[in-house]
Each structure stands twice: as C-alpha cells, then as structure tokens.
C-alpha cells in the first residue's frame, strides 16, 4: 500500500528555526504570537516560546500544503491537520513531525484510512475504506495489510483470515473441486442438469466442476489451451467470484473476478512480469478494448494539472455511444496512485489479451514522458519507466485487428439483441472497424525532442483537448459520421500546431489503414 511519496517528502522536509535563518514579519516571535517567514518561502503563524515554535500554529508551505495544529520544540507534535495541495488530507496525532498515533488519512481518489500510524505509515489496527465501496478492517505493518483482518466486499461477502505483505493468505484449495475428478460424467455427451461433470468448449478449454441448469456454473477447475489453469467460481463461461489463476509461466493471481476480469486482487505470486489472463473473448462481433491512463501527482516529478482530467474525458467518451458504448469489463481506467508501472502492465495484458481477430485495442496515456518512455506515477527518477518498446510489444502480441495508441506525453461489447436508434448508430461504428484493413497506429502528442504542453485556459493538455474535440465530431472532414484515424490526425495536427505557434508537433506512425475508424458522430 503506497503512502503518497509527496506526503513523505513534505513530512520529512521541515526542519525549522534550528537550521534556517528567516525573519519575524509580525508580532512576537520570542514569547507570544507571531508570524515568521522562512527563507524557502514557507510561512508560520502561531505561538512561540523562548524563540521556538511551541503551542498552536499554522504552517503555510510555499507549494500550497498547509498544517494546522499543535507544536512542541519546533516540530509538529500532538493533534493536527495536514492538507495537501493535491486534495489529500491527514487529521490525527503527530510526533516529531510524523504521522504517529491515531489518525485519518483521506485520499483524493476516495480511499480513506482510519486507524493507527507509526513513522508516517499504517501500523497496528486500522480500516481502509476503498472507493469501490469495499473496506478492510484489521492489522497493518509498514503500510501494508499484515496479520488478522477482514475484507468486506461490495456484494456482501467477507474474506476473513491472515494477510501477509498486503496479500490475502487464503487456503486456495478450498475454492476448487475436491476429490477424484477422473471418472466424472462427460457433459458434452450427457445432459448435466446439476452436480459435478466435465465439459470441453469449442476452443479447447476444459471445465471440471459444478453444473447448474445444464451449464458449467459454480466451483470448478478450468484448463485453458494457453496452459493457464483457473480454480474457483465460474459463471457464464468465465471466472466470476473468488478464484486463483495459475499462469503457464509460473505466476499466480488470487482475486475476486467479474466476467473474466480480476477486479479485486487478493494475492499475487509473481516470478516475472509476463503473466496475463489469456481469456480470449471470441465473438463474431467487433469489440473495443481500452486501457486509459492519467498520471498527474508524481512523487519525484512536477505535478501535472490536467492529465487526470484528460483521462477521465477519454474514459467518458469511450463509455458514450460516440466512443462505442464500452461496457465496464472492456475498459480499464487508472488514475494517479493506481497508475503504477505494474498496474499499467497488468491492465494492458489482462484487457488486450482478451481481444480476438475482429477487435480493437486502444491505449491512451496522459502524463510525463522522456525520450523512449512514458513515466508511470511510481517513477522514482531511475526506476519504473514504461518503455515505448514494451507498449509496442504488448500491442503486437494481441490478436486484435486494430491497434491504436494515443499518447499525450513529452517526447514522445456485444450489442443488445434489440436495436434501438442509438444502438443502430453504434453498429455503424463497429461495421466501419470491420470494413477497415486494420493495423497499428501510434498517435503521439509531440516529436521526440519536443515538450507536450498544458494550457490553463483550456484546462487540459493541448493535444488531449483537440483529440477529444476531434473525436466528438470536429475531425469528420467528409461528414460521413465516422471519424477515421487519418481525419483525427489531420485535425489535431493543424489545431495543435496553430495553438502552440508551431512549438508542438503531433506525429503518427505505424502500418495502419487510414480509414481505421476511431469515433462515431451522432447528428442532432
């Protein structure tokens, strides 16, 4: 569990009057109430005793952070409140400038921890309330779930037991089929209304386990052609509920699954970074699979103002009819602290490997970049870069016919059977994908040596702003109600060059059909 690096930097960086020579700008800075300005621009307003900060006071950090509360011997000590400029907030006990004792830490993403702290990290008993509605109550050590605890899931289920290194130590053998399965009835030949049986799907996948109303449903073991093996709850021909995936490369993932996608990771045993749930979603219909990244609040890089907003707008577009009306299991959104290298790699593998030969995969990244790499939120100045070659290799490994990358960084489902008018319009977009020859298009915000700009007036990255406008219809040059990749590039190129006075130059590369569609335009 990552405790924000920006917090640690702020908490650890303040050593006051002993080491710095500022000036008293108002009142009594010896014994009484005064205002003191530090050389670095930080400003303190509050009580002094014998020339030291002591009592109650407010520290206004130059970067916009603010502390209000008790002081002892020039350190935050006692009860206080620390408000971070990014919207995170800690209320609770401090000791020697650190979170220590009972407290509450609220994150801007909606997560909230309430419990005990020691030296800035979760330690002892505490409860983490997650933004998806679930919560964990139990023991913590060094910022991670460690010891006895209970996870309360949004569906009402609970996972109670031992946690180690932030992972649930389940007896995974209990979620699989027990006893001898060699002589089970063949449900490809016999109708299996209920009870145990075995069944082989058309693609070679084999299921051994419970049946309900003649279909594989309940607890089972599933053997995939890829060599992966899943043990756990199964519904509608996909992992659904508590289960563990044993990957062919030796990696193991225990999770709560929904429609084949792990939505709540509980346990991971990773021998390398190449695991992925190869659950290809074969379907004659075209599907769009997307991973959307927005990284703004870095620990070791300057904070970006609008990259997370840009990602939310792209996500909202993809969920709309114009963007394909993607269901939840076909799009993954990672914002700020979720946008780590490992999370991004895992999201790309778990989403893109599900695409079949008819489908579309889209990767959108908005955040910092250096030459040859995107920078996830956990980039520490040397480690955790996401190299362009890695993204390219992941895209190339997918079976998808159409592959699209849209990157705003420096240097750089099936339709319902009943078709209402909106759904008929969506079909037009999917048919355009089917008619296109496909390929891979890499649409980047700037040339390798250039910087990608944000704009306060637009409240967005310049590139992302015009990408979104283009997708919503302004790029439809031939007015056929389909925006293709070449139309989008031509529009964004012109607008960005004009808006930045030719400082920023969007680029497009790869082998792709210029008629590859990217958006549907719905006319009033």
Per-residue pLDDT reduced to its tens digit, 394-414: 777 777 888 888 887 754 422
Q: Would the CA dihedral through 370, 372, 378, 380 be positive or negative?
A: negative
pLDDT band at 46 (very low <50, low <70, confident <90, very high): very high
Closest to 430 (Cα-Cα) out of 479, 357, 486, 359: 359
Q: Which of 441, 460, 454, 456 is nearest to 507 (CA)?
A: 441
pLDDT of 167 reads 75
* CATH no. of 288-520: 3.40.50.1460
CATH number attached to the domain at 5-168: 2.20.110.10
Q: How confident is the model at residue 249 (pLDDT cuts 50, 70, 90)?
A: low
Q: Which one, of 5, 1, 121, lies nearest residue 380 by Cα? A: 5
Render pLDDT for 109-158 as a digit per residue (tens, 0 to 9).
788 999 999 988 899 999 999 887 889 999 999 888 899 999 888 777 78
**Domain regions of the chain by residue span:** 5-168, 172-269, 288-520
Let me know if the fold of 5-168 is the same as that of 172-269. yes
Q: Which of 393, 39, 59, 61 is nearest to 69 (CA)?
A: 59
High-pLDDT (> 90) share of the chain, %:
21
Task: State the Cα–Cα distance between residues 133 and 470, nearest whole angstrom.
Answer: 35
Decide: 412 and 369 in contact? Cβ < 8 Å.
yes
172-269 under CATH 2.60.40, yes or no: no
Q: What is the pLDDT of residues 176-225, one digit of tens each?
A: 676 666 678 899 988 999 989 999 998 888 899 999 999 999 988 888 87
Predicted TM-score (pTM) of the model is 0.45
Cα–Cα distances in angstroms (integers) from residue 82 to residues 59, 65, 222, 512, in the given order: 9, 7, 50, 51
């Amino acid at each position: 569990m990552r405790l924000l690096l920006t917090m640690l930097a702020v908490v650890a960086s303040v050593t006051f009057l002993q080491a710095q020579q500022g000036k008293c700008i108002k009142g009594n800075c010896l014994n009484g109430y005064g205002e003191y300005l530090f050389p670095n621009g930080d400003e303190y307003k509050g009580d002094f005793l014998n020339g030291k900060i002591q009592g109650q006071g407010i520290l206004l950090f130059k970067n916009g952070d603010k502390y209000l509360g008790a002081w002892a011997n020039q350190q935050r000590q006692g009860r206080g409140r620390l408000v971070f400029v990014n919207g995170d907030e800690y209320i609770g006990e401090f000791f020697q400038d650190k979170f220590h004792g009972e407290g509450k830490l609220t994150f801007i993403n909606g997560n909230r921890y309430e419990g005990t702290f020691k030296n800035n990290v979760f330690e002892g008993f505490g409860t983490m309330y997650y933004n998806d509605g679930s919560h964990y109550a139990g023991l913590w050590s060094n910022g991670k779930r460690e010891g006895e605890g209970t996870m309360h899931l949004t569906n009402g289920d609970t996972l109670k037991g031992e946690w180690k290194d932030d992972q649930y130590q389940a007896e995974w053998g209990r979620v699989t089929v027990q006893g001898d399965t060699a002589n089970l009835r063949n449900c490809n030949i016999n109708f299996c209304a209920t009870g145990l049986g075995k069944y082989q799907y058309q693609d070679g996948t084999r299921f051994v386990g419970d049946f309900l109303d003649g279909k594989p449903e309940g607890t089972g073991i599933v053997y995939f052609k890829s060599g992966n093996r899943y043990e756990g709850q199964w519904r509608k021909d996909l992992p659904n509920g508590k289960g563990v995936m044993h990957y062919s490369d030796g990696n193991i993932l225990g999770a709560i699954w929904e429609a084949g996608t792990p939505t709540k990771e509980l346990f991971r045993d990773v021998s390398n970074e190449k695991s992925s749930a190869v659950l290809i979603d074969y379907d004659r219909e075209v599907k769009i699979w997307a991973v959307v990244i927005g990284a703004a609040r870095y620990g070791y890089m300057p904070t970006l103002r609008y990259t997370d907003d840009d990602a939310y707008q792209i996500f909202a577009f993809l969920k709309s009819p114009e963007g394909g009306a993607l269901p939840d299991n076909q799009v993954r959104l990672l914002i700020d602290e979720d946008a780590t290298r490992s999370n991004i790699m895992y999201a790309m593998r778990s989403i893109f490997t599900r695409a079949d030969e008819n489908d579309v995969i889209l990767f959108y990244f908005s955040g910092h970049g250096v030459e040859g790499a995107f920078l996830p939120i956990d980039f520490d100045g040397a480690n955790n870069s996401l190299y362009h070659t890695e993204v390219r290799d992941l895209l190339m490994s997918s079976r998808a016919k159409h592959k699209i990358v849209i990157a705003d960084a420096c240097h750089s489902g099936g339709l319902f059977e009943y078709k209402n008018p909106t759904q008929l319009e969506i079909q037009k977009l999917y048919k355009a994908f089917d008619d296109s020859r496909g390929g891979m298009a890499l649409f980047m915000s700037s040339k390798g040596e250039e910087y990608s700009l944000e704009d306060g007036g637009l409240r967005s990255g310049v590139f992302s702003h015009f990408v979104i406008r283009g997708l919503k219809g302004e790029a439809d040059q031939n007015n056929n109600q389909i925006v293709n990749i070449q139309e989008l590039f031509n529009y964004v190129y012109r607008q960005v060059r004009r808006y930045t006075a030719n400082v920023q130059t969007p680029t497009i590369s790869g082998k792709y059909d210029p008629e590859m569609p990217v958006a549907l335009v719905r006319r009033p």
